[in-house]
Amino acid sequence: MTSCRICGGRLHEFGDFGTQPLSSGFLEPDYIGDEYFFRLALGVCASCSMVQLMEEVPRHLMFNGHYPYLSSGSSVMRKHFEQTAQHFLRTELTSPDAFAVELGCNDGIMLRALADAGVRHLGVEPSESVADIARRNGIRVTTEFFQESTATEIREAEGRPAQLVYAANTICHIPYVDSIFRGVDALLADDGVFVFEDPYLADIVDKTAYDQIYDEHFYFFSVTSVSAMAQRFGFELVKAERLPVHGGEVRYTIARQGRRTPDSSVAALLAEEKVRRLADLDTLNAFFRNVEKSRDDLVELLRQLKAEGRRVVGYGATAKSATVANYCGIGRELVSFVSDTTPNKQGRLTPGSHIPVRPRSAFENPYPDYALLFAWNHAEEIIAKEIRFREAGGKWILYVPHVQVV
Ligand SMILES: [Zn+2]
Protein backbone atom coordinates (compact mmCIF):
# COMPACT_ATOMS: atom_id res chain seq x y z
CA MET A 1 0.00 0.00 0.00
CA THR A 2 1.23 3.48 -0.73
CA SER A 3 -1.76 5.48 0.45
CA CYS A 4 -3.27 6.04 3.89
CA ARG A 5 -5.94 3.51 4.88
CA ILE A 6 -7.97 6.32 6.46
CA CYS A 7 -7.69 9.43 4.31
CA GLY A 8 -6.01 8.26 1.08
CA GLY A 9 -3.04 10.60 1.69
CA ARG A 10 0.50 9.66 0.70
CA LEU A 11 2.32 7.20 2.97
CA HIS A 12 6.01 7.66 3.69
CA GLU A 13 7.64 4.41 4.74
CA PHE A 14 10.13 4.64 7.63
CA GLY A 15 10.67 1.22 9.21
CA ASP A 16 11.00 -2.24 7.70
CA PHE A 17 11.04 -5.32 9.96
CA GLY A 18 11.33 -7.74 7.06
CA THR A 19 9.08 -10.75 6.65
CA GLN A 20 7.17 -11.75 9.77
CA PRO A 21 4.76 -14.55 10.67
CA LEU A 22 1.33 -14.17 12.29
CA SER A 23 2.05 -13.26 15.90
CA SER A 24 -0.47 -15.80 17.19
CA GLY A 25 0.53 -18.50 14.68
CA PHE A 26 1.97 -21.04 17.15
CA LEU A 27 2.85 -24.29 15.38
CA GLU A 28 2.49 -27.93 16.32
CA PRO A 29 6.01 -29.36 16.78
CA ASP A 30 5.57 -31.76 13.86
CA TYR A 31 4.10 -29.11 11.55
CA ILE A 32 5.69 -29.20 8.12
CA GLY A 33 3.44 -26.97 6.00
CA ASP A 34 4.07 -23.42 4.90
CA GLU A 35 3.83 -20.65 7.44
CA TYR A 36 2.10 -17.43 6.45
CA PHE A 37 4.56 -14.53 6.21
CA PHE A 38 4.00 -10.89 5.34
CA ARG A 39 6.20 -7.80 5.11
CA LEU A 40 6.02 -5.84 8.36
CA ALA A 41 6.80 -2.21 7.61
CA LEU A 42 5.55 1.13 8.87
CA GLY A 43 4.48 4.28 7.09
CA VAL A 44 3.22 7.68 8.17
CA CYS A 45 0.52 9.59 6.30
CA ALA A 46 1.68 12.94 4.97
CA SER A 47 -1.82 14.43 5.36
CA CYS A 48 -3.43 13.06 8.55
CA SER A 49 -0.19 11.88 10.26
CA MET A 50 -1.57 8.40 11.04
CA VAL A 51 1.21 5.83 11.48
CA GLN A 52 0.15 2.47 10.04
CA LEU A 53 1.34 -0.83 8.59
CA MET A 54 2.25 -0.82 4.90
CA GLU A 55 0.74 -4.28 4.43
CA GLU A 56 -2.59 -5.54 5.75
CA VAL A 57 -3.01 -9.13 7.00
CA PRO A 58 -6.47 -10.63 6.30
CA ARG A 59 -8.40 -10.46 9.58
CA HIS A 60 -9.68 -14.05 9.50
CA LEU A 61 -6.07 -15.22 9.73
CA MET A 62 -5.54 -13.29 12.98
CA PHE A 63 -8.76 -13.29 15.00
CA ASN A 64 -10.16 -16.77 14.65
CA GLY A 65 -11.46 -19.57 16.82
CA HIS A 66 -8.07 -20.06 18.43
CA TYR A 67 -7.13 -16.54 19.48
CA PRO A 68 -4.96 -17.20 22.55
CA TYR A 69 -4.85 -13.87 24.43
CA LEU A 70 -6.92 -13.39 27.61
CA SER A 71 -7.45 -9.88 29.04
CA SER A 72 -7.88 -11.08 32.58
CA GLY A 73 -4.58 -13.00 32.60
CA SER A 74 -2.86 -10.14 34.45
CA SER A 75 -3.93 -8.86 37.86
CA VAL A 76 -2.89 -5.33 36.84
CA MET A 77 -5.21 -5.52 33.82
CA ARG A 78 -8.06 -7.00 35.88
CA LYS A 79 -7.81 -4.03 38.23
CA HIS A 80 -7.57 -1.61 35.31
CA PHE A 81 -10.79 -2.91 33.71
CA GLU A 82 -12.66 -3.03 37.01
CA GLN A 83 -11.74 0.62 37.65
CA THR A 84 -12.73 1.49 34.08
CA ALA A 85 -16.15 -0.10 34.59
CA GLN A 86 -16.66 1.77 37.89
CA HIS A 87 -15.73 5.03 36.13
CA PHE A 88 -18.33 4.41 33.40
CA LEU A 89 -20.99 3.49 35.98
CA ARG A 90 -20.45 6.87 37.67
CA THR A 91 -20.30 8.94 34.47
CA GLU A 92 -21.85 7.62 31.25
CA LEU A 93 -24.14 4.84 32.50
CA THR A 94 -26.20 6.53 35.21
CA SER A 95 -29.65 6.35 33.56
CA PRO A 96 -31.81 3.29 34.33
CA ASP A 97 -32.07 2.28 30.64
CA ALA A 98 -28.35 2.73 29.95
CA PHE A 99 -26.88 0.37 27.38
CA ALA A 100 -23.16 -0.26 26.85
CA VAL A 101 -21.44 -2.11 24.01
CA GLU A 102 -17.85 -3.32 24.11
CA LEU A 103 -16.01 -4.07 20.89
CA GLY A 104 -13.48 -6.90 21.25
CA CYS A 105 -14.71 -7.67 24.78
CA ASN A 106 -12.31 -10.63 25.02
CA ASP A 107 -13.14 -12.73 28.11
CA GLY A 108 -15.55 -10.07 29.39
CA ILE A 109 -13.50 -8.72 32.26
CA MET A 110 -14.83 -5.12 31.91
CA LEU A 111 -18.44 -6.07 31.08
CA ARG A 112 -18.60 -8.38 34.10
CA ALA A 113 -18.58 -5.35 36.40
CA LEU A 114 -21.37 -3.69 34.36
CA ALA A 115 -23.39 -6.91 34.46
CA ASP A 116 -22.94 -7.06 38.25
CA ALA A 117 -24.31 -3.50 38.48
CA GLY A 118 -27.36 -4.58 36.45
CA VAL A 119 -26.48 -2.51 33.37
CA ARG A 120 -27.66 -3.74 29.99
CA HIS A 121 -24.59 -4.63 27.95
CA LEU A 122 -23.39 -6.49 24.88
CA GLY A 123 -19.92 -7.66 23.94
CA VAL A 124 -18.95 -7.99 20.27
CA GLU A 125 -16.09 -10.46 20.03
CA PRO A 126 -15.00 -12.18 16.80
CA SER A 127 -12.91 -14.90 18.46
CA GLU A 128 -15.09 -17.86 19.50
CA SER A 129 -12.72 -19.23 22.12
CA VAL A 130 -12.56 -16.06 24.22
CA ALA A 131 -16.23 -15.19 23.58
CA ASP A 132 -17.16 -18.57 25.10
CA ILE A 133 -15.25 -17.71 28.26
CA ALA A 134 -17.14 -14.39 28.45
CA ARG A 135 -20.47 -16.23 28.04
CA ARG A 136 -19.56 -18.63 30.81
CA ASN A 137 -18.90 -15.54 32.97
CA GLY A 138 -22.50 -14.45 32.40
CA ILE A 139 -21.79 -11.80 29.76
CA ARG A 140 -24.05 -11.23 26.73
CA VAL A 141 -21.79 -11.66 23.70
CA THR A 142 -22.27 -11.81 19.96
CA THR A 143 -19.49 -13.56 18.02
CA GLU A 144 -18.94 -11.19 15.13
CA PHE A 145 -16.60 -8.59 13.71
CA PHE A 146 -17.98 -5.14 14.51
CA GLN A 147 -18.75 -3.16 11.39
CA GLU A 148 -21.57 -1.00 10.07
CA SER A 149 -23.97 -3.90 9.40
CA THR A 150 -23.37 -5.45 12.86
CA ALA A 151 -24.09 -2.09 14.50
CA THR A 152 -27.35 -1.63 12.65
CA GLU A 153 -28.47 -5.14 13.64
CA ILE A 154 -27.64 -4.50 17.29
CA ARG A 155 -29.47 -1.15 17.29
CA GLU A 156 -32.58 -2.83 15.85
CA ALA A 157 -32.46 -5.91 18.07
CA GLU A 158 -31.98 -3.87 21.26
CA GLY A 159 -34.51 -1.21 20.28
CA ARG A 160 -32.34 1.48 21.84
CA PRO A 161 -29.09 3.31 21.19
CA ALA A 162 -25.95 2.86 23.30
CA GLN A 163 -24.74 5.50 25.75
CA LEU A 164 -21.29 4.00 25.56
CA VAL A 165 -19.30 2.12 22.94
CA TYR A 166 -16.02 1.04 24.48
CA ALA A 167 -12.99 -0.78 23.07
CA ALA A 168 -9.66 -1.62 24.71
CA ASN A 169 -6.75 -2.71 22.53
CA THR A 170 -9.11 -3.31 19.66
CA ILE A 171 -9.52 -0.24 17.41
CA CYS A 172 -5.83 -0.13 16.49
CA HIS A 173 -6.28 -3.71 15.22
CA ILE A 174 -8.88 -2.76 12.65
CA PRO A 175 -7.80 -1.36 9.25
CA TYR A 176 -11.40 -0.70 8.04
CA VAL A 177 -11.94 2.01 10.62
CA ASP A 178 -14.40 3.87 8.35
CA SER A 179 -16.92 1.06 8.84
CA ILE A 180 -16.30 1.15 12.61
CA PHE A 181 -17.16 4.85 12.73
CA ARG A 182 -20.26 4.35 10.56
CA GLY A 183 -21.23 1.55 12.96
CA VAL A 184 -20.68 3.78 15.99
CA ASP A 185 -22.78 6.45 14.25
CA ALA A 186 -25.63 3.93 13.80
CA LEU A 187 -25.43 2.66 17.37
CA LEU A 188 -24.53 5.60 19.60
CA ALA A 189 -27.08 7.81 21.39
CA ASP A 190 -26.89 11.50 20.42
CA ASP A 191 -25.11 12.37 23.63
CA GLY A 192 -23.25 9.05 23.93
CA VAL A 193 -19.50 8.51 23.77
CA PHE A 194 -17.17 6.21 21.90
CA VAL A 195 -14.20 5.48 24.17
CA PHE A 196 -11.17 3.50 23.12
CA GLU A 197 -7.69 2.92 24.48
CA ASP A 198 -4.68 1.74 22.53
CA PRO A 199 -0.86 1.91 22.63
CA TYR A 200 0.35 5.49 22.26
CA LEU A 201 2.80 6.32 19.47
CA ALA A 202 4.75 8.70 21.74
CA ASP A 203 5.35 5.91 24.28
CA ILE A 204 6.44 3.51 21.54
CA VAL A 205 8.90 6.09 20.18
CA ASP A 206 10.20 7.17 23.60
CA LYS A 207 10.71 3.62 24.86
CA THR A 208 11.85 2.12 21.53
CA ALA A 209 9.02 -0.35 22.18
CA TYR A 210 9.15 -1.81 18.70
CA ASP A 211 7.57 -5.07 19.83
CA GLN A 212 4.23 -3.20 19.82
CA ILE A 213 4.57 -3.41 16.04
CA TYR A 214 3.14 -6.72 14.78
CA ASP A 215 0.39 -7.99 12.49
CA GLU A 216 -2.48 -7.27 14.88
CA HIS A 217 -1.55 -3.63 15.50
CA PHE A 218 -2.41 -1.91 12.26
CA TYR A 219 -2.52 1.71 13.51
CA PHE A 220 -0.25 3.50 15.96
CA PHE A 221 -2.41 6.30 17.27
CA SER A 222 -1.43 9.76 18.39
CA VAL A 223 -3.78 12.46 19.66
CA THR A 224 -3.16 14.36 16.41
CA SER A 225 -4.06 11.44 14.14
CA VAL A 226 -7.07 10.34 16.22
CA SER A 227 -8.42 13.88 16.34
CA ALA A 228 -8.19 14.09 12.52
CA MET A 229 -9.77 10.63 12.16
CA ALA A 230 -12.69 11.52 14.43
CA GLN A 231 -13.35 14.72 12.48
CA ARG A 232 -13.22 12.91 9.19
CA PHE A 233 -16.10 10.65 10.29
CA GLY A 234 -18.28 13.39 11.82
CA PHE A 235 -17.11 13.04 15.41
CA GLU A 236 -14.90 15.03 17.75
CA LEU A 237 -12.16 14.04 20.17
CA VAL A 238 -13.22 15.52 23.52
CA LYS A 239 -10.80 13.90 25.96
CA ALA A 240 -7.38 12.19 25.79
CA GLU A 241 -5.93 10.54 28.91
CA ARG A 242 -2.57 8.84 29.14
CA LEU A 243 -2.74 5.41 30.80
CA PRO A 244 0.17 3.45 32.30
CA VAL A 245 -1.06 0.03 31.08
CA HIS A 246 0.50 -2.09 28.30
CA GLY A 247 3.63 0.04 28.23
CA GLY A 248 1.76 3.32 27.72
CA GLU A 249 -1.62 3.96 26.14
CA VAL A 250 -4.05 6.81 25.57
CA ARG A 251 -7.76 6.58 26.26
CA TYR A 252 -9.65 8.62 23.67
CA THR A 253 -13.20 9.84 24.31
CA ILE A 254 -15.05 10.72 21.14
CA ALA A 255 -18.47 12.38 20.91
CA ARG A 256 -20.67 13.53 18.06
CA GLN A 257 -19.48 16.87 16.72
CA GLY A 258 -20.61 19.78 18.87
CA ARG A 259 -22.24 17.61 21.57
CA ARG A 260 -19.55 17.99 24.23
CA THR A 261 -16.96 20.63 25.02
CA PRO A 262 -13.46 19.24 24.52
CA ASP A 263 -11.48 18.92 27.70
CA SER A 264 -8.14 20.77 28.04
CA SER A 265 -6.34 17.40 27.80
CA VAL A 266 -6.89 17.34 24.03
CA ALA A 267 -5.30 20.75 23.36
CA ALA A 268 -2.46 19.97 25.77
CA LEU A 269 -1.49 16.70 24.09
CA LEU A 270 -1.95 18.14 20.59
CA ALA A 271 0.46 20.95 21.51
CA GLU A 272 2.94 18.50 23.03
CA GLU A 273 2.93 16.33 19.91
CA LYS A 274 3.42 19.37 17.71
CA VAL A 275 6.36 20.71 19.70
CA ARG A 276 8.15 17.36 19.69
CA ARG A 277 7.26 16.80 16.01
CA LEU A 278 6.00 13.30 16.79
CA ALA A 279 4.80 12.44 13.29
CA ASP A 280 7.72 14.04 11.39
CA LEU A 281 9.66 11.66 9.23
CA ASP A 282 12.91 12.77 10.92
CA THR A 283 11.55 11.77 14.34
CA LEU A 284 10.29 8.42 13.05
CA ASN A 285 13.53 7.67 11.20
CA ALA A 286 15.44 8.39 14.41
CA PHE A 287 13.08 5.98 16.23
CA PHE A 288 13.90 3.28 13.72
CA ARG A 289 17.65 3.80 14.16
CA ASN A 290 17.06 3.21 17.89
CA VAL A 291 15.19 0.01 16.98
CA GLU A 292 18.18 -1.22 14.96
CA LYS A 293 20.53 -0.46 17.84
CA SER A 294 18.23 -2.27 20.29
CA ARG A 295 18.24 -5.34 18.02
CA ASP A 296 22.05 -5.30 17.69
CA ASP A 297 22.52 -4.92 21.45
CA LEU A 298 20.15 -7.78 22.25
CA VAL A 299 21.71 -10.18 19.76
CA GLU A 300 25.20 -9.32 20.99
CA LEU A 301 24.19 -9.95 24.61
CA LEU A 302 22.55 -13.31 23.82
CA ARG A 303 25.55 -14.47 21.78
CA GLN A 304 27.92 -13.45 24.54
CA LEU A 305 25.89 -15.37 27.14
CA LYS A 306 25.85 -18.41 24.90
CA ALA A 307 29.63 -18.18 24.45
CA GLU A 308 29.95 -18.10 28.25
CA GLY A 309 27.84 -21.25 28.48
CA ARG A 310 24.90 -19.55 30.22
CA ARG A 311 21.42 -20.96 29.96
CA VAL A 312 18.84 -18.47 28.66
CA VAL A 313 15.11 -19.05 28.38
CA GLY A 314 12.28 -16.76 27.30
CA TYR A 315 9.46 -15.73 29.64
CA GLY A 316 6.02 -15.09 28.11
CA ALA A 317 5.26 -16.29 24.56
CA THR A 318 3.46 -13.03 23.85
CA ALA A 319 2.20 -11.78 20.51
CA LYS A 320 4.68 -8.93 21.00
CA SER A 321 7.60 -11.35 21.12
CA ALA A 322 7.05 -12.49 17.51
CA THR A 323 8.50 -9.27 16.09
CA VAL A 324 11.48 -9.30 18.47
CA ALA A 325 12.39 -12.96 17.91
CA ASN A 326 12.01 -12.81 14.14
CA TYR A 327 13.50 -9.36 13.58
CA CYS A 328 16.52 -10.16 15.77
CA GLY A 329 16.82 -13.70 14.38
CA ILE A 330 16.52 -15.30 17.84
CA GLY A 331 15.95 -19.04 17.61
CA ARG A 332 16.30 -21.95 20.00
CA GLU A 333 20.11 -21.85 19.73
CA LEU A 334 20.03 -18.59 21.73
CA VAL A 335 16.87 -19.12 23.81
CA SER A 336 16.25 -22.79 24.61
CA PHE A 337 12.51 -22.43 25.25
CA VAL A 338 9.85 -19.89 26.21
CA SER A 339 7.72 -20.55 29.27
CA ASP A 340 4.08 -19.48 29.12
CA THR A 341 0.99 -20.12 31.24
CA THR A 342 -1.45 -20.29 28.29
CA PRO A 343 -2.31 -24.00 27.86
CA ASN A 344 -2.95 -23.83 24.10
CA LYS A 345 0.50 -22.37 23.41
CA GLN A 346 2.32 -25.01 25.47
CA GLY A 347 3.93 -27.84 23.50
CA ARG A 348 3.93 -25.71 20.35
CA LEU A 349 6.62 -23.68 18.59
CA THR A 350 6.74 -19.89 18.45
CA PRO A 351 5.76 -18.49 15.02
CA GLY A 352 8.64 -18.00 12.60
CA SER A 353 11.39 -18.46 15.19
CA HIS A 354 10.29 -22.02 16.16
CA ILE A 355 11.32 -21.84 19.82
CA PRO A 356 9.51 -24.51 21.90
CA VAL A 357 6.87 -23.21 24.34
CA ARG A 358 6.82 -24.97 27.73
CA PRO A 359 4.60 -24.57 30.76
CA ARG A 360 5.53 -22.28 33.64
CA SER A 361 6.73 -25.32 35.64
CA ALA A 362 9.62 -25.75 33.16
CA PHE A 363 10.90 -22.30 34.09
CA GLU A 364 11.75 -23.23 37.68
CA ASN A 365 12.81 -26.77 37.11
CA PRO A 366 15.64 -25.81 37.24
CA TYR A 367 15.79 -22.02 36.97
CA PRO A 368 17.87 -20.76 34.02
CA ASP A 369 20.78 -18.32 34.43
CA TYR A 370 18.91 -15.64 32.48
CA ALA A 371 15.30 -15.07 31.46
CA LEU A 372 14.50 -12.91 28.46
CA LEU A 373 11.32 -11.15 29.51
CA PHE A 374 9.09 -10.98 26.43
CA ALA A 375 6.19 -9.59 28.47
CA TRP A 376 8.10 -6.44 29.50
CA ASN A 377 4.85 -4.45 29.75
CA HIS A 378 4.03 -6.57 32.82
CA ALA A 379 7.66 -6.49 34.09
CA GLU A 380 6.94 -5.17 37.56
CA GLU A 381 4.15 -7.70 38.20
CA ILE A 382 6.16 -10.64 36.83
CA ILE A 383 9.46 -9.82 38.53
CA ALA A 384 7.63 -9.49 41.86
CA LYS A 385 5.77 -12.77 41.30
CA GLU A 386 8.97 -14.62 40.32
CA ILE A 387 10.99 -13.40 43.31
CA ARG A 388 12.47 -16.88 43.85
CA PHE A 389 14.13 -16.82 40.42
CA ARG A 390 16.26 -13.86 41.49
CA GLU A 391 16.88 -15.39 44.91
CA ALA A 392 18.25 -18.41 43.07
CA GLY A 393 20.71 -16.10 41.28
CA GLY A 394 18.69 -15.65 38.09
CA LYS A 395 18.77 -12.42 36.10
CA TRP A 396 16.20 -10.82 33.85
CA ILE A 397 17.00 -9.50 30.38
CA LEU A 398 14.81 -6.56 29.34
CA TYR A 399 14.95 -4.79 25.98
CA VAL A 400 12.56 -1.89 26.60
CA PRO A 401 13.42 1.00 26.95
CA HIS A 402 16.91 -0.38 26.19
CA VAL A 403 18.69 -3.71 26.45
CA GLN A 404 19.64 -4.35 30.08
CA VAL A 405 20.19 -7.09 32.64
CA VAL A 406 18.41 -6.57 35.96
ZN1 LIG B 1 -4.08 9.84 6.24
Task: Please give the distance, rounded to the nearest whole angstrom, from the Cα atom of residue 114 to the centre of ligand 1.
Answer: 36
- Residue 67 banded pLDDT, cuts 50, 70, 90: low
Task: Please give the distance, rounded to the nearest whole angstrom, from the Cα atom of residue 281 to the centre of ligand 1.
Answer: 14
- Residue 1 banded pLDDT, cuts 50, 70, 90: low
Task: Please give the distance, rounded to the nearest whole angstrom, from the Cα atom of residue 225 to the centre of ligand 1.
Answer: 8
**Which letter does DSSP use for residue 335 in this model?**
S
Query: pLDDT, tens digit, for every residue of 178-206?
Result: 999 999 999 999 999 999 999 999 999 99
Q: Which residue has the higher pLDDT, 128 or 301?
A: 301
CA atoms of 142 and 151, how far apart (whole Å): 11
CATH architecture designation of domain 283-405: 3-Layer(aba) Sandwich (3.40)
3-class secondary-structure state, position 200: strand
Instruction: Give pLDDT, residue 60.
Output: 77
Do 283-405 and 71-260 have the same topology in CATH? yes
Q: Which CATH number is 71-260 given?
A: 3.40.50.150
Instruction: Give pLDDT, residue 58.
Output: 84
- Measured in degrees and rounded to the nearest 5, phi and psi for residue 244 equal -80, -5
pLDDT surpasses 60 at 359: yes
Task: Please give the distance, rounded to the nearest whole angstrom, from the Cα atom of residue 398 to the centre of ligand 1.
Answer: 34
pLDDT surpasses 80 at 173: yes
Contact 56, 218 (CB under 8 A): yes
- pLDDT > 70 in the chain, percent: 97
Task: Please give the distance, rounded to the nearest whole angstrom, from the Cα atom of residue 219 to the centre of ligand 1.
Answer: 11
Instruction: Give pLDDT, residue 65.
Output: 54
pLDDT surpasses 60 at 64: no
Task: Please give the distance, rounded to the nearest whole angstrom, from the Cα atom of residue 178 to the centre of ligand 1.
Answer: 12
DSSP code string of 257-286 = TTTSPPPHHHHHHHHHHHHTTTT-HHHHHH
Task: Please give the distance, rounded to the nearest whole angstrom, from the Cα atom of residue 247 to the centre of ligand 1.
Answer: 25
Contact 134, 111 (CB under 8 A): yes
Task: Give exposure, 7-32, as e/b (b: 16+ Cβ within 10 Å).
Answer: bebebeebbebeebbbbbbbbeeeee
* Residue ranges per structural domain of the chain: 71-260, 283-405
CA atoms of 84 and 391, how far apart (whole Å): 36
Query: pLDDT, tens digit, for every residue of 222-280?
Result: 999 999 999 999 999 999 999 999 889 999 999 999 999 999 999 999 999 999 999 99
Instruction: Give pLDDT, residue 71.
Output: 61
Rounded average pLDDT over 118-143: 93
Rounded average pLDDT over 274-299: 98
Closest to 169 (Cα-Cα) out of 193, 195, 189, 187: 195
Query: pLDDT, tens digit, for every residue of 326-343?
Result: 999 999 999 999 999 988
Instruction: Give pLDDT, residue 223.
Output: 98
Task: Please give the distance, rounded to the nearest whole angstrom, from the Cα atom of residue 3 to the centre of ligand 1.
Answer: 8
**Which residues have CB atoms below 5 A from the ion given as ligand 1?**
4, 6-7, 9, 45, 47-48, 50
CA atoms of 338 and 372, how far apart (whole Å): 9
pLDDT surpasses 80 at 70: no
Q: How distant is the alpha carbon of residue 133 from its chain centre?
A: 20
pLDDT surpasses 60 at 66: no
Query: How many CB atoms sit inside 10 A of residue 97's CB?
Result: 8
Task: Please give the distance, rounded to the nearest whole angstrom, from the Cα atom of residue 45 to the centre of ligand 1.
Answer: 5
Burial level of 364, CB count in 10 A (0-12/13-18/19+)? middle
Instruction: Give pLDDT, residue 344.
Output: 86
pLDDT surpasses 70 at 39: yes
Task: Please give the distance, rounded to the nearest whole angstrom, from the Cα atom of residue 47 to the centre of ligand 1.
Answer: 5
